[in-house]
């Protein structure tokens, strides 16, 4: 063997070894992530707490109620730092706060973890900060470290504890971002703020408050590499800590965050969470009386679990340190439902089905089969619950409330479960179906709802985009909005949706689109029956409008495919959220 051939062989062996090590490191890393995330995936339900000195006035400033949530009052009312101290900091004295009672309510609701605002954008520390006197112990009449009290009580009651920290915005420190109204501030650099305040406070929170399971960053902004590293590195102080995706624009964290809105479809292959206030405002606001109903809250929890996510439900303590009766009542009602039905939430994974007309599904997989939890929102009047596409042998079926056995029958299209006349729970009754073997489910195409309308959403489309070209791709809106087809600059790329209908006839077709240019043209319709359509500008790509495209004739029941293809000569890029067919 020549030296040249030996060198090639030796180099090849080195590359193989390097690739093997890299693959092994990836497997070990993924295994570590799975181990770290195990309790969080099991938990499914947590309490978010927005509490700060703004609660002292209930978000009101000198007789006016600024827009947005209460914790934004300083920003929205352009309150100078000195006035904010007089009106809120100096008045903050929540004498009725009791950590044992507060944590006990979270536990009663069925929540497994609690995350609270240690510092929000106003820059005020709700703990005894050692690097800034602008904190709850040194600057308020209350003079108690509420973070310490909650940390101790959560540990006693076996509730995982976590901190929220606004790392970039700080309307008090001269180097923090966000305060552009108080002209008394003598500005310093953002890096100086991180060095003097943010990094030391984060380090303190992660070393002096016992075991911390979650660190919840907020409002990511561009920052220097040094600033990012000084913030991010502190999380290493708590082994196994879980972080979200809001530290920096390129930081993915351990889970994706959806704010206020539940995505229509959970992201594939990712841990994710929906944070949502129980009312309208995150922080306590006197004028906020729009509490979500008990059915909505319970069904939100079920809906999120059915898509594989966690529900972080926010509450807002008052200036006295207690929750309003409306919030307490709702948490207790959720707890009552969870006492009976928690097995259908804790430790489950997302539904193996598409859209279900009667409710949602969660599941647990085992070595020899699976358990399906069918959450029935709309109890069938005929007593027959149809589970479409399920082909497995059914071992047993029963109601989770009372364990009443139920009969099942299988057909080519799925499984029917015979139900009693009355639902055990008017909000969400759980039917348990245990199946043998690996799940065998035939996908069911979307079909019109009872009112004759059919929504074909962006993430239902098959994209003909040159093997994944970014000139037409599926993106997700920020904060939990709908997915949409984006970057559709390629006039050769096109999209199609498969669906099924029971009744032939005339259908009006509309599209929810956004378009920056003056107009764009495309063809739409069934294969072989395409017709032209033109859409006018919506002004910008972030503004969507539902536009009528025309009508199509569907001559027979069954499976069909709708296409949208650009008109090459007059095509301008557009975004598209959905196509709607409505029977005429």
Listed residues 436, 461, 487: the one ending a domain? 436
Total domains present in the chain: 3
On whether both 430 and 295 belong to a single domain, the answer is no
List the beta bridge partners of residue 558.
501
Give the distance from CA 227 to its chain's centroid.
Answer: 27
In a domain, 237, yes or no: yes
What gap in Å lies between CA 183 and CA 161, rounded to an integer?
38
On whether both 386 and 523 belong to a single domain, the answer is no
On whether both 275 and 406 belong to a single domain, the answer is no
Listed residues 344, 370, 394: the one ending a domain? 344
In a domain, 15, yes or no: no
On whether both 364 and 462 belong to a single domain, the answer is no
Encoding tokens for residue 177? Answer: 């971002």
Q: In which domain, by residue range, is 429 found?
A: 359-436
Percent of the chain with pLDDT over 90: 78
On whether both 338 and 380 belong to a single domain, the answer is no
Condensed to tens digits (0 to 9), the pLDDT of residues 491-534 reads 888 899 999 898 899 999 999 999 988 999 999 999 889 999 99
Condensed to tens digits (0 to 9), the pLDDT of residues 173-198 reads 999 999 999 999 999 999 999 999 99
In a domain, 352, yes or no: no
On whether both 275 and 126 belong to a single domain, the answer is yes
What gap in Å lies between CA 334 and CA 44, rounded to an integer?
13
Q: Give pLDDT < 70 ranges for the chain.
A: 1-32, 466-470, 474, 476-481
What gap in Å lies between CA 374 and CA 388, rounded to an integer?
12
Instruction: Supply the CATH number for residue 86's domain.
Output: 3.20.20.80
CA distances from 506 to 296, 502, 509, 531, 555 (A): 35, 13, 10, 15, 8
Tell me what the pLDDT averaged over the chain comes to. Answer: 91
* Angle, helices 99-108/146-156, rounded to nearest 10 degrees: 50
CA distances from 230 to 167, 174, 191, 193 (A): 11, 19, 10, 12
In a domain, 255, yes or no: yes
In a domain, 94, yes or no: yes
What gap in Å lies between CA 169 and CA 253, rounded to an integer?
19
Q: Pairing state of beta strands 505-515 and 453-457?
A: unpaired
On whether both 554 and 514 belong to a single domain, the answer is yes
Contact 564, 579 (CB under 8 A): yes
What gap in Å lies between CA 37 and CA 25, rounded to an integer?
18
On whether both 388 and 320 belong to a single domain, the answer is no
Q: Pairing state of beta strands 160-166 and 113-119?
A: parallel
Give the global pTM: 0.84
On whether both 378 and 280 belong to a single domain, the answer is no
List the beta bridge partners of residue 574.
515
On whether both 402 and 315 belong to a single domain, the answer is no
In a domain, 23, yes or no: no
Encoding tokens for residue 326? Answer: 């409306």
**Nearest Cα to Cα of residue 497 among 552, 574, 571:** 552
Contact 576, 457 (CB under 8 A): no
In a domain, 9, yes or no: no
| φ, ψ of residue 555 in degrees (nearest 5) | -85, -15
Instruction: Supply the CATH number for residue 471's domain.
Output: 2.60.120.260
pLDDT of residue 479: 44
On whether both 316 and 366 belong to a single domain, the answer is no
Contact 49, 116 (CB under 8 A): yes
What gap in Å lies between CA 42 and CA 3, rounded to an integer?
57
What gap in Å lies between CA 136 and CA 150, rounded to an integer?
14
Instruction: Supply the CATH number for residue 365's domain.
Output: 2.60.40.1180
Listed residues 311, 344, 377: the one ending a domain? 344
Encoding tokens for residue 144? Answer: 């108690």
In a domain, 2, yes or no: no
On whether both 270 and 399 belong to a single domain, the answer is no
Q: Tokens 């704010």 sit at which residue? A: 259
Residues 101, 105, 108, 113: is their CA dihedral positive or negative? negative
What gap in Å lies between CA 223 and CA 207, rounded to an integer?
25
Q: What is the rounded radius of gyration, in angstroms, for the C-alpha atoms of the chain?
A: 27
């Amino acid at each position: 063997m020549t030296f040249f051939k030996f060198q090639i062989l030796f180099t090849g062996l080195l590359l193989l070894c390097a690739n093997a090590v890299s693959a092994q490191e990836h497997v070990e890393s993924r295994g570590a992530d799975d181990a770290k995330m195990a309790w969080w995936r099991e938990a499914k339900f947590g309490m978010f707490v927005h509490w700060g000195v703004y609660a002292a006035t209930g978000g009101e400033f000198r007789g006016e109620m600024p827009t947005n949530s209460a914790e934004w009052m300083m920003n929205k009312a352009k309150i100078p730092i000195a006035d904010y101290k007089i009106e809120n900091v100096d008045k903050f004295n929540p004498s009725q706060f009791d950590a044992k009672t507060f944590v006990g309510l979270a536990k009663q609701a069925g929540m497994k973890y609690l995350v609270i605002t240690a510092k929000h954008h106003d820059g005020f520390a709700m703990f005894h900060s050692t690097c800034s006197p602008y904190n709850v112990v040194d600057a308020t009449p209350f003079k108690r470290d509420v973070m310490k009290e909650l940390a101790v009580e959560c540990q006693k009651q076996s509730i995982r504890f976590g901190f929220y920290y606004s790392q970039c915005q700080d309307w008090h420190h001269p180097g923090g971002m966000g305060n552009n109204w108080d002209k008394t501030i003598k500005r310093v650099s953002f890096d100086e703020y991180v060095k003097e305040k943010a990094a030391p406070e984060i380090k303190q929170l992660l070393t002096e408050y016992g075991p911390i399971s979650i660190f919840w960053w907020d409002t990511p902004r561009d920052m220097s590499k040094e600033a990012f590293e000084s913030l991010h590195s502190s999380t290493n102080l708590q082994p196994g800590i879980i972080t979200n995706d809001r530290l920096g624009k390129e930081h993915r964290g351990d889970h994706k965050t959806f704010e206020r809105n539940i995505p229509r479809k959970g992201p594939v292959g990712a841990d994710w969470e929906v944070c949502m206030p129980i009312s309208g405002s995150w922080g306590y606001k006197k004028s906020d009386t729009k509490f979500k109903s008990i059915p909505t809250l319970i069904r939100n929890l079920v809906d999120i679990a059915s898509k594989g996510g966690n529900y972080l439900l926010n509450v807002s303590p008052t200036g006295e340190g207690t929750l309003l009766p409306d919030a307490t009542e709702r948490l207790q009602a959720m707890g009552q439902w969870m006492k009976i039905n928690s097995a259908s939430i804790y430790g489950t994974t997302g539904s193996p089905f598409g859209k279900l007309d009667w409710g949602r599904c969660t599941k647990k997989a085992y070595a020899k089969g699976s358990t399906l939890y069918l959450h029935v929102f709309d109890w069938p009047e005929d007593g027959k619950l149809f589970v479409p596409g399920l082909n497995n042998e059914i071992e047993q079926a029963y109601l989770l409330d009372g364990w009443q056995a139920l009969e099942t029958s299988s057909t080519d299209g799925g499984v029917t479960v015979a139900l009693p006349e009355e639902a055990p729970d008017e909000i969400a009754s759980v039917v348990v179906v245990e199946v043998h073997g690996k799940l065998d489910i035939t996908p069911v195409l979307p079909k019109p709802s009872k009112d004759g309308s059919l929504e074909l959403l962006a993430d239902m489309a098959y994209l003909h985009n040159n093997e994944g070209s970014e000139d037409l791709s599926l993106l997700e809106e920020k904060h939990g909005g709908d997915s949409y087809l984006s970057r559709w600059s390629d006039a050769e790329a096109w999209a199609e949706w498969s669906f099924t209908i029971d009744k032939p006839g005339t259908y009006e077709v509309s599209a929810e689109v956004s378009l920056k240019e003056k107009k764009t043209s495309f063809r739409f319709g069934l294969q072989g029956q395409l017709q032209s359509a033109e859409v006018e500008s919506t002004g910008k790509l972030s503004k969507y409008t539902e536009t009528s495209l025309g009508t199509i004739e569907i001559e027979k029941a069954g499976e069909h495919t709708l296409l949208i293809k650009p008109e090459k000569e007059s095509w301008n890029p557009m975004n598209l959220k959905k196509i709607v067919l409505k029977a005429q």
